[in-house]
Amino acid sequence: MHTETTRLIEIEWKGPYLLSEIAQIKDSEIDYGLYQIYGRHPVYGSNVLLYIGKADRQTIGKRVSQEAWDDTNDSSSIKIYVGRLIGSNTPEEIVWSEEIDLAERMLINVHKPAYNSKSIARLPDAELQNVHILNWGDHCSLLPEVSGFRWTSKLYDVEYDYYRYK
């Protein structure tokens, strides 16, 4: 039996946007959140999830423009999906920042985009065990629901009696 509190993070995704359109998103001073980059990969093919990133304490448009996606071999095929945390109220900035960070790490761990290889190797398993993410809207290749119960070692620490479930 699990008694810890689950941290529910809901994300509303919109897109796709082209690189040229992302520059227009820079204007909002509090446009923080997550983003997915899709494009061509030499091994995995066209229109595949390449990268998941976060914009925390800077706008999504500004963060994406810092990464030089326009300097790739096929920048015209780059598509970007923007994710913003949603809920019944806006949390304090420190909580907002924590949730953006947890969501980014969980989504990278589960979906393993090709250009996030460093982040995949550094999964903070214990921090993500009670995180539950709901992806709404245009979440593209992301799973609609992701849980730390499923994607961390949380349940491996519990001894299960196989026959109890028959």
- Report the C-alpha gap between 77 and 70 in whole angstroms: 10
Per-residue confidence (pLDDT) for residue 77, from 0 to 100: 83
| Sheet with 7-17, side-by-side order of all strands | 45-55, 33-41, 79-86, 7-17, 131-137, 145-147
Per-residue confidence (pLDDT) for residue 91, from 0 to 100: 75
* pLDDT tens, residue order, the chain (166 aa): 455 789 999 999 999 999 888 877 654 556 789 999 999 888 888 899 999 999 988 888 788 878 877 766 677 789 999 999 998 877 788 988 999 999 999 999 999 998 887 766 556 678 899 999 999 999 999 999 999 988 887 777 555 555 555 5
